[in-house]
Amino acid sequence: MWESVWIRFYLKGMTMKRTIWLSVVLSGALLLPLSSSQEHAEIPVKVTRVSERVLVLHGSYMENNVTAIATDLGLVVVDSTGIPSTAKRMRDIIRREFGRDDFVFLINTHYHWDHRWGNMAFPETKTIAHEGCGPLMRENESQMGRTIESFQRNLEESRRRLEGMAAGSDEEQKTRAFMAEVERAIADYSAGFRMLPPVISFNDRMTLDLGDITLEMAYFGRSHSGTDIFIHIPQEGILLTGDIFLDGRWLPLFSAGGPLDIPRWIEVLDGFLGDDNIRQVIPGHQHFWPRARLELWGDYIRNLWEGLKAAEQEGMTLDQAIERFPLERPYMYLKKLGHDDRELQNFHERNIRAFWRQLVEPETGREDRLCPPAK
């Protein structure tokens, strides 16, 4: 069964599609401490004004999308990037773009570091996430020393690679920009870093009524992180999908270790796509999707699942099933985004194997000890 949590608030009112790149200087009045060498660093942030009430900010390190929504009650932010100083820069831009500073809620689409380590830039908000996020966030915090060491290793490796690059080349410039962000991340994590875990959580569905805007949230089911949620903004025709549906640097994330909640994925997608006013899909990274692309991948999940169930009932082997279900032509658009034939074949075969494993051995795979399925 689907349970719903309703939170209702009231207040009064707020304020095209333009895209700009801002490279701005950090002010001294930061909400988080930074080393003196970072206080005047330029932090590039791409800003897309989707509508009068919705703004998307795009960080360069992991190409995260951070969505800000102006509502009657106050400003709501979805995800916060993985670098606190980048999140602080985004906060400043949101405040300037909307002409207000009344941040009330921060929603994390899942627990992964690159979507919520910037939460501390919004300390006054109530943080909302799936109920599995809190324990995993606290576990992450206990391992921060190891995380910093990992970033330092990445930095040293980049320095070594830099020695073999041509001065002034595109590769060198990109590597130096990456190194600058890693150095800034290390400084942030080493100076008063706090996780800010959720204070409001849910297991199934939650509706947040903010006066002129309603946010309809649903747990997607065990998949990428075990804590992934979708957020629908019906008044804007927008669906936020976190990291499940990507197609640029990464491919859609269906084949994480089992057990998987494939029937629930289909139920959630059918529920949201049954609403005709979803026009824009905003993933957790990179470019936006049109509705038709989400429908395409919804068909992929449904057709593969139903086809494999039929194949298993016929007594087919996994190898026979792999032969029966080649990747279809509509999905070859991925080649235009830089994915080669071998990568696509491996991606599709991994999905077949993961779906098949769910059919024949549904309880195998990684233990999802902190993220039980919704009841």
Give the model confidence (pLDDT) of 46-101 as tens digits: 999 999 999 999 988 889 999 999 999 999 999 999 999 999 999 999 999 999 99
**Nearest partner of 30 among 105, 96, 103, 85, judged by Cα:** 85
**Nearest partner of 105 among 249, 233, 266, judged by Cα:** 233
Q: Which pLDDT value is given to residue 276?
A: 86
Q: Which pLDDT value is given to residue 68?
A: 98
Q: Which pLDDT value is given to residue 202?
A: 95
CA angle 70, 72, 75 (to 5 degrees): 35
Q: Which pLDDT value is given to residue 44?
A: 87
Q: How confident is the model at residue 363 (pLDDT cuts 50, 70, 90)?
A: low
Listed in sequence order, the residues at least 6 apart from 273 whose beta carbon sits closer than 8 Å to its beta carbon are 291, 294, 295, 298
* CATH architecture, range 1-219: 4-Layer Sandwich (3.60)
What is the amino acid identity at position 62?
Answer: M
Q: How confident is the model at residue 275 (pLDDT cuts 50, 70, 90)?
A: confident
pLDDT higher for 71 or 174? 71
User: 14-23, 220-229, 284-293, 296-305: lowest mean pLDDT where?
Assistant: 14-23
As to burial, measured by CB atoms within 10 angstroms (0-12 exposed, 13-18 middle, 19+ buried), residue 172 is middle
As to burial, measured by CB atoms within 10 angstroms (0-12 exposed, 13-18 middle, 19+ buried), residue 145 is exposed
Instruction: Give residue-wise pLDDT tens across range 34-46.
Output: 333 344 347 889 9
Question: Considering Cα of 358, then 364, then 369, then 375, what sign does the dihedral take?
Answer: positive
User: 26-35, 156-165, 243-252, 288-297: lowest mean pLDDT where?
Assistant: 26-35
- Three-class secondary structure of residue 4 per DSSP: strand
Q: Which pLDDT value is given to residue 266?
A: 97
Average pLDDT on 159-181 reads 90
Q: How confident is the model at residue 197 (pLDDT cuts 50, 70, 90)?
A: confident
User: 23-27, 214-218, 277-281, 324-328: lowest mean pLDDT where?
Assistant: 23-27
User: 39-48, 201-210, 290-299: lowest mean pLDDT where?
Assistant: 39-48
Q: Which pLDDT value is given to residue 361?
A: 81
Give Cα separations from 315 to 262, 298, 360 (angstroms).
21, 26, 11
Taking the domains of the chain in order of start, what are their residue ranges? 1-219, 243-375
Are 225 and 257 within 8 A, CB to CB?
Answer: no
The rounded mean pLDDT for the chain is 85
Give Cα separations from 339 to 197, 249, 347 (angstroms).
36, 8, 10
